[in-house]
Chains A and B, each alone.
Chain A
Amino acid sequence: MEQEDFSSLPKKKLKKLISETQDVLNQLKRELKLRKEGKQHDEIDHLEEYFEDASHNLSNLKKFIQNVISEVKSK
């Protein structure tokens, strides 16, 4: 991003600019937070699937041990 020269700006204008930038920044942060929370709400809507996944312990363990074995063999 190109650096702008603010040295010629009067103090009042500079303050106004800071305040406006702050507002935009707050809006952007709020938007980002909303998007993140929206994604979290979407995932929670699939809670049934996560409940189901949580009960597949043995297959997880099997998958993991296979992965460990192949990792050890490859070295």
Chain B
Amino acid sequence: MMTDMTSSGGNSASADNFAYRIFQWLFVFFLIYLLITAVGMIGSGFKGATKGHAAELFSFATNPFMGLIVGVMATAMIQSSSTVTSIIVGMVAGGLPVEMAVPMIMGANIGTTITNTIVSLGHVRHKKEFRRAFAAATVHDFFNLMAVAIFLPIEIIFHPLQKIATYLSEYLVGGENLSVKGLNFIKPITKPVITEFQTFAEMISVQSSHILLVFFGIAIIFLSIIFIGKLLKKLMVGRAKKIMHASIGRGPISGITSGAIVTVLVQSSSTTTSLMVPLAGAGVFKLKQIYPFTLGANIGTTITALLAATAISGPTAILALQIALVHLLYNTSAVAFIYGIKTLRKIPIRGALWLARLAAEKKLYALFYLLGIFFVVPGVLIFLHEIFA
């Protein structure tokens, strides 16, 4: 009798649990729909607000270093590269030239590293633990800074990433007449919501309706990415565990792959890289093991921009896809190039260890580093640009 009652109670609890999970998944799909719609809103609002003169509005970013700084600071402040890259995709669809958006995308990669650095600061009370955690966090910073130092000048001169992305996007969506056949099903499902928001924006102010639409889009992207992240963390933790268990003791390629897959599952590179910081702090994982996992996160995070690009239909869809592909190509080539060459591979590790030793001795150095690299240096460069340009 007792057994029967327990089992029927257990069945009912598991049915409730199943129903709850289904509800959570439906909510995730709804949030992805909102994200895609919001990217469309930004595209439409940005196009309307700039009236085809987006390049002039962003004339300050014609200097690629300014674009880079905008990407770094925006991402460091929002602490989400997925949000920033999705906004950039929307702006490209709204008329921002791809060549201006490329440095911004690269900057987003640097800006996103602030999150795991902040997480490492939580280990400050134990010197050894802090040194290990800070090194695990800053190895990502060093890698991303190095990637920009190598790839940005090459991109400015020869545009290889943009050229390959153009070729691929034309191949994927048919580019000769810039008509996008494959992705046209998105427009009918997002258009009604965009129109509703457009009407609402016009009710507030007809003159600023396009700018308001951009702001609504940014706010919706920001919130939907936060909630998608929160839900996916719960829903995907089991799968993430399996992937991580499977990658233990299997070498760097497996580390990169599992980092990329876990990031795709939780839709946030900050979460994946932050996850590894306490594991490194406790001394359970070595920096050499954390490093490839972190690089995988760089690749996995590009899925969000690709998802955002599906929001755009019509002639600008190809441009949105181009910038999303630039993000993917940049991160995969940076990993292949820097991690592939032994001498280059070691530089981020040495840099991180050196900085972590300094920071463990004097915590003030860690604070200077954090403020300097993400805010003061970019801020001073913007100030100097404003004065001299």
Q: Using CB atoms and an 8 Å cutoff, list the residues of chain A in contact with chain B.
A: 33, 37, 39-41, 43-45, 47-48, 50-51, 53-57, 59-61, 63-65, 67-68, 71-72
Contact = CB atoms under 8 A, between A and B. Distances in A.
A70 to B, nearest CB: 9
B279 A50 contact: yes
B150 interface: no
Contact of B119 (A44, A60, A65, A67): A60
B121 A47 contact: no
B122 to A, nearest CB: 3
B244 A44 contact: yes
Contact of B248 (A40, A53, A61): A40
Interface string B237-250: 10011001100110
Interface string B245-289: 100110000000000000000000011001101110010110000
B362 interface: yes
B248 A43 contact: no
Contacts of B275: 47, 50-51, 54
Contact of B363 (A43, A47, A50, A71): A71
Nearest to A58: B118
B297 interface: no
Given A53-B278, A59-B122, A47 B241 contact: yes
Contacts of A54: 119, 270-271, 274-275, 277
Contacts of A57: 79, 115, 118-119
Given A44-B244, A51-B233, A68 B367 contact: yes
B362 A47 contact: no
Given A41-B248, A44-B248, 19 more contacts: A33-B249, A37-B249, A39-B284, A40-B284, A41-B245, A44-B241, A44-B244, A47-B241, A50-B278, A51-B237, A53-B274, A56-B122, A57-B79, A60-B118, A61-B118, A63-B122, A64-B124, A67-B363, A68-B366
Interface of A is mostly: helix
Nearest to A42: B284
A40 B246 CA distance: 11
B342 interface: no
Nearest to B367: A68
Contacts of B244: 44, 47
Given A51-B271, A53-B122, A44 B245 contact: yes
A45 B119 contact: no
A61 B241 contact: no
A37 B241 CA distance: 14
Contacts of B233: 51
A63 B233 CA distance: 25
Contacts of A71: 362-364
Interface string B218-237: 00000000000000010001
A47 B240 contact: yes
Contacts of A47: 237, 240-241, 244, 275
Contacts of B363: 64, 67-68, 71
